[in-house]
Structure 1
Amino acid sequence: MTAYKIEVQQSKNGLAILKINDFFIHSKYDPHTEAERIISKELSLDYVYILFGYGMGYLKEALLQQHVAKENIIIIDPVYEFLPVEEQECTVISKIIKMELENMISDKLQNLSTKIKVICTPNYDKIFPKEYNDVLKSVLDVQIVHKISVNTANRYADVWQQNYIHNTYHAFKDNTIKVLNKKYHHPIIIASGGPSLTKQLPLLKQMQNKVIILAAGSTVNSLLATGIEPNYIVTVDAGVENYHHFQNIQVKNSKLLYHLGSHYKIQDEFTNQKYSFLELIDLEFAKQLKNLLGLEPPLMRGGGSVANFAFSIAAYMTTGPIAFIGQDLAYTNNLTHANNNKYSQAIDDNYKKQRGMFEVEGYFGDKVLTDYAFYSMKKNFEITNSLLVHESPIFNCTEGGLCIEGIKQCSFDEFYKNFVKPFEDSVAESTEITEEKKGDLEEYKKALNNQLQMYDKLIKEMDYAILLLTKNRSTIAFEPNVVKNLNKLDKLAERLIPQLFIQRIVEPITLDVLNKYPAKKYESQEEAYIHIFAKNKDLYTRLLVALKHAKQYTIETLKKVEESSEWKQS
């Protein structure tokens, strides 16, 4: 620390101030007033704050005086341990470790919010320019990942809901991936559809009986076209485009690992064994499945792509080493996908502009083109890897694309020689899988009929509440009859919604409404009424549409049950 000279001096009004090297970091006249002025300019409701530079703690005190929760403050100071103060209330970081900082920021941002502000103590950006830029970059990366997740949730909320309800039927009949937990000791190859996959396929074909191959979604088509049938296909994507990838695929032995939010028609048409799972954010839905149907699909850590899920699943299934191939997360050779992928295409300048592409460090230390969607997938790989405890090494054998920090790189040939050859005399797919107990379809049918009754109750009450809202005559307050019925609806929703399979459509609507109508400071009575009225009407109107859709999906699923051969036999 010889590079930094830290001095404690006194301001004109007698308060302790710091000087680091040649820079004062507080006002020489009145550091309290200075801190209050800085915070008043930056203050916003419901934000998480990063204070870059602690000094004598004046900025932190100013935030607390504005009723910012101490849990929503992160203090970063590269020389904190050498300061003549000790923080007792808020989180303090002195050494910036990118992954740890991003995990901390993400944990503090509730419900995938992007509301975070970095407030720099005066002159700290001049004393520690690299560290300050690192913090700004980490904040931006977290915001990008969260924004993409929110956009995805909003875009697919309704189709997810349709899939969840339809897929409860398959989950009721199929095994969960719990039966695959640590069943393998062989290497697992996760094959993704990046452009670099094409060059790895000949070696993959050579070793296909000595390893377990997980095909990430649509990658199955590139594998099958080369005569490689994966052991397992992972599917998570909700959209109909994902279903089109799976239409008419011809597999003999491949098994399907499906998220309950994936397009339900894939599960309808896939005739081989299937295994279900959920994502960590599906915790409430998982509780419902257990309470209402007795089902317990394991919760896997996911991300922006099916390969993110495949990574978590691979570590769940095997004690052996894991290798990625085709995990470019970039437009290698100006291509979007590997050969034989239905959506593979070359990119041009217009495509680059549409996707907002930029350059990052590549696999070979070069610069490669990526975009924010790919970049968020990279961040999710890095987060999963940092949290994972796995018995064997994990390698990125893509030999192209971008660099995934924290995951070792090696050539696919090197991985084959070091980790596959030892299994030359054994066949990978030789493990006995214990079947789980299947549920009674009669009980499943009763559960769906109960859901329909609850939908009818909620739809009736919500229709009436919206009608009352529109008839409210006052322009500054809700009439007693409106308040009474809104309270009745809220209590009914609070009781019934936790029993319905609609979390993935209710949560995005609720969060969107909360963000669209934030509380404002110093509202008049009339302004507060207009704000709350608009918020309630928007929320109830959108929830009503969602409930009607969910009811229809439940009716469709019931019909599927009654037309199934299992139901007719029972």
Structure 2
Amino acid sequence: MSNMLQENLETLRKYRVDLYEKVATFMEKQNTSDISIVLAANGTLNLFINSEGEQSLYMYSKYNPEHECQRWSESSEPIQQDSYIIMYGLGLGYHFNAYITQNRGHQIYIYEPELSIFVESLKVISLQSVIEHSNFRYLAVGEDPMEQEQLFFLFHIYASESKHIVAIPFYMKKNIAQYEQFTEKLRIGLSNHLSSEQYAKSLGKFTLYNTLRNFTSIINTPSLAGMRDRLKGKQAVIIGAGPSLENEIDLLKSIQDQVFLIAAGSSIQSLLSHGIEPHLIVSMDAGKFNYNIFKQNDLNHIPLLIIPQIHYEILKERTENVIHSFFSHDPFIKYCFDLNDDDPLFVGTHSVTGTAIQAAIYMGCDKIILVGQDLSFPNKLLYAEGTNHLTADALKNDQLQITEAVVNVKGGFNHTSAKMKITLNDIENLIALYPDTSFINTTINGARIQGTTWLPLSEVASLIGNIGYNKEEFKRDISKFTYAYSEEYKTQVRDNCQLLLQQLVEIEKQVIKVEALLSKLPELSRTNQNKCMKFIRDIETQWGQVVHSSLFKSIISEWMKSELYAYDRQVDSIAKEVNLIPKSNLMDEIVGTFITKLKKELPIIMREIRIQIDKIDLREL
């Protein structure tokens, strides 16, 4: 191993140990003989890629790589200063050096898509000079989804509104499809993080609050587990509240006793207004508007499948015909409920349709028929007639968000919003997880959904036949096959809640200690710098123990997601500051502000858990 490679690997290990381990594993298992370092005519280094069955390529000019990259940088389309850039490709670093010389105000996130090329480059470039450059922000390597997701998250957190992607020409020539896939993943990733941040500000905390408030309701209702594969071979019609539902109402009404109907969320309003009762309602939304649906309609006689995050007042007023499933990402459920592979543990999506799809497949349905799932706003219409759970202000706000377009089933375009695009992508990703399930999209004017076959409902209805499984039979099966939790299980859940509470108390004690140290920094930075440095090291150690604990990463980070977005955007400035006085002030201000918020939220979480512990009393259950 060359000295340069050894130095670069050590630099990489110090910079990102996870990426270092990935590179080390690759070097042990992979052969990169198709990539070699060669000399250009002027004596500078070049990369040669000899791909079997494909055109052999030089990464740079065979004559003068640096001059080529300089000309590329000078001729690139101007981008405003103070922009944040993802540079697609590192190679031997020539493009990076040329670009930052030309654009000194840009902050660069480097994404090297080819792990094999990166490994070869480590033999000759100085990785330290790249990482330590004032314009460098982050390095990601390879097509692993988690690697890309981390890049997208950091780009969302730290990059300003002026975000751009700049590609090394070699990669555009070598694999344009790979580049286009990356840009689409980046677009979706940034939209997802923006949506997640907006949701955290509005309903994120309330979602977890609902989960806690619903603990005793959940533990006293059966889960969907008993219905696993009970509908094997049957077809499910999942009905959304999209505008196209109005076109299908009469046909749905005529076949409602022939097929297994699932109402996804608010679509139940339109169905009931037209005399259609589904076999099952699926509901998960945490907001008050969802409670309004149940408050305004008599739904108690229709089986209801819920997720624990559902608005807690719904379960306060309804105790019959309720079954539940779980979201795999719910931190309180993970900590307090002892779940296994047989439990109905679903992937969380932005739409209740995703939950309904997973429920149908869990129960054994091998064909999913989507009705009223426009997943866009044809003619800027939001919902089917009869859907009235939103206020006028909420509807007006939704109208204002319709700023984008999506391809529809006819090959034209529908109006849509960024949020609805994310929902569509969610559904498409979910469908891709079930290649053995047939999906049919019947919406006349809705969005094109990848992974589905489009057929009009009239044609689908003629092929369905009669499943011979009416609503009363479904209720009977729920009663027969689903079961209440045992007293031993309830005791275990209560014990898990108690353990969680104790861990939160310990976190609270650690936080108070860090706060005490922080309060002394501003004065010490002016009067005793040696002691100040020791305090900073102690704070970094103790605060690190808090934020890197499993409890913080799961529960606290979810409960305080909105506050953490703001904290993450600021905390980087502490590490960058070298002067002790402003560094101490920044630490006190940024970490101290977050701790103040954390100290306010911890008692709320602990109070809610104590309430559940008191309620989960076997003498009351």
TM-score when normalising by structure 2: 0.71
Which residue matches 1:153?
200
Once the two structures are superposed, the pairs formed by residues 367-406 of structure 1 within 5 Å of their partners are 367-390=413-436, 392-406=437-451
Which residue matches 2:285?
237
| Cα deviation, residue 10, structure 1 | 3.4
| Cα deviation, residue 61, structure 1 | 7.2
| Cα deviation, residue 434, structure 1 | 3.5
The residue type paired with residue 354 of structure 2 is N
State yes or no: 1:122 paired with 2:169: yes
State yes or no: 1:168 paired with 2:215: yes
Seen in structure 2, the aligned counterparts of structure 1 residues 309 and 69 have a Cα distance that, compared at 3 Å, is farther
State yes or no: 1:39 paired with 2:96: yes
Which residue matches 2:150?
110
The residue type paired with residue 216 of structure 2 is Y
Q: Structure 1 CA distance, aligned partners of 2:594 and 2:512?
A: 12
Q: Structure 2 CA distance, aligned partners of 1:464 and 1:210?
A: 65
- Verify the 8 A CA contact 1:195 1:333 in the aligned structure 2: no
Q: Structure 1 CA distance, aligned partners of 2:217 and 2:357?
A: 23
1:323-380, Cα deviation, whole Å (9 max, x unpaired) = 1111111112332111111147999x98687315222211211211011111001101
Q: Structure 2 CA distance, aligned partners of 1:365 and 1:496?
A: 48
Query: Which stretch of structure 1 is more off in the superposition, 63-72 or 378-387?
Result: 63-72
The residue type paired with residue 242 of structure 1 is N
Which residue matches 2:41?
11
Q: Structure 1 CA distance, aligned partners of 2:202 and 2:379?
A: 30
- Verify the 8 A CA contact 1:16 1:56 in the aligned structure 2: no
1:477-529, Cα deviation, whole Å (9 max, x unpaired) = 74757865885676578779379965631555445523432267764142554
1:45-99, Cα deviation, whole Å (9 max, x unpaired) = 886554799799769976956469999323xxxxxxxxxxxxxxxx5xxxxxxxx
2:256 is aligned, of 208, 212, 216, to 208
| Cα deviation, residue 201, structure 1 | 1.9
SS, match of residue 447 in structure 2? coil
SS, match of residue 363 in structure 1? coil
SS, match of residue 115 in structure 1? helix
TM-score when normalising by structure 1: 0.77
Q: Structure 2 CA distance, aligned partners of 1:556 and 1:138?
A: 43
Which residue matches 1:274?
322
- Verify the 8 A CA contact 2:289 2:390 in the aligned structure 1: no
1:459-493, Cα deviation, whole Å (9 max, x unpaired) = 45534543442233223674757865885676578
The residue type paired with residue 170 of structure 1 is S
State yes or no: 1:339 paired with 2:359: no
1:26 is aligned, of 56, 60, 74, to 60
Q: Structure 2 CA distance, aligned partners of 1:554 and 1:333?
A: 47
- Verify the 8 A CA contact 1:236 1:259 in the aligned structure 2: yes
Seen in structure 2, the aligned counterparts of structure 1 residues 411 and 528 have a Cα distance that, compared at 3 Å, is same
Q: Structure 1 CA distance, aligned partners of 2:46 and 2:493?
A: 69
| Cα deviation, residue 457, structure 1 | 5.2
Which residue matches 2:570?
516
Which residue matches 1:301?
347
State yes or no: 1:73 paired with 2:141: yes
1:528-553, Cα deviation, whole Å (9 max, x unpaired) = 54444444213322222221221333
Point out where structure 1 has 5 or more consecutive residues left out of the alignment.
1-7, 75-90, 92-103
- Verify the 8 A CA contact 2:217 2:315 in the aligned structure 1: yes
Query: Which stretch of structure 1 is more off in the superposition, 546-555 or 309-318?
Result: 546-555
Seen in structure 2, the aligned counterparts of structure 1 residues 255 and 204 have a Cα distance that, compared at 3 Å, is same
- Verify the 8 A CA contact 1:188 1:213 in the aligned structure 2: yes
Which residue matches 1:95?
none
- Verify the 8 A CA contact 1:189 1:322 in the aligned structure 2: yes
The residue type paired with residue 150 of structure 1 is E
- Verify the 8 A CA contact 2:547 2:553 in the aligned structure 1: no
Seen in structure 2, the aligned counterparts of structure 1 residues 463 and 295 have a Cα distance that, compared at 3 Å, is farther
- Verify the 8 A CA contact 1:49 1:118 in the aligned structure 2: no
Once the two structures are superposed, the pairs formed by residues 517-536 of structure 1 within 5 Å of their partners are 517-518=571-572, 523-526=577-580, 528-536=583-591
Q: Structure 1 CA distance, aligned partners of 2:182 and 2:500?
A: 48
State yes or no: 1:250 paired with 2:298: yes
Seen in structure 2, the aligned counterparts of structure 1 residues 552 and 486 have a Cα distance that, compared at 3 Å, is farther
Query: Which stretch of structure 1 is more off in the superposition, 375-384 or 45-54?
Result: 45-54
The residue type paired with residue 96 of structure 2 is I
- Verify the 8 A CA contact 2:266 2:389 in the aligned structure 1: no
SS, match of residue 224 in structure 1? helix
| Cα deviation, residue 37, structure 1 | 4.6
The residue type paired with residue 423 of structure 1 is I
| Cα deviation, residue 194, structure 1 | 0.7
Seen in structure 2, the aligned counterparts of structure 1 residues 38 and 353 have a Cα distance that, compared at 3 Å, is farther
State yes or no: 1:471 paired with 2:529: no
SS, match of residue 26 in structure 1? coil
Q: Structure 1 CA distance, aligned partners of 2:546 and 2:614?
A: 28
Query: Which stretch of structure 1 is more off in the superposition, 437-446 or 178-187?
Result: 437-446
Which residue matches 1:553?
608
| Cα deviation, residue 149, structure 1 | 2.5
Indicate the RMSD between aligned Cα atoms, in angstroms: 4.5
State yes or no: 1:313 paired with 2:370: no
| Cα deviation, residue 260, structure 1 | 1.6
Q: Percent identity?
A: 19
| Cα deviation, residue 318, structure 1 | 2.3
Which residue matches 1:177?
224
SS, match of residue 377 in structure 1? helix
Q: Structure 2 CA distance, aligned partners of 1:172 and 1:484?
A: 43
- Verify the 8 A CA contact 2:200 2:562 in the aligned structure 1: yes
State yes or no: 1:538 paired with 2:593: yes
Seen in structure 2, the aligned counterparts of structure 1 residues 298 and 346 have a Cα distance that, compared at 3 Å, is same
Which residue matches 1:322?
368
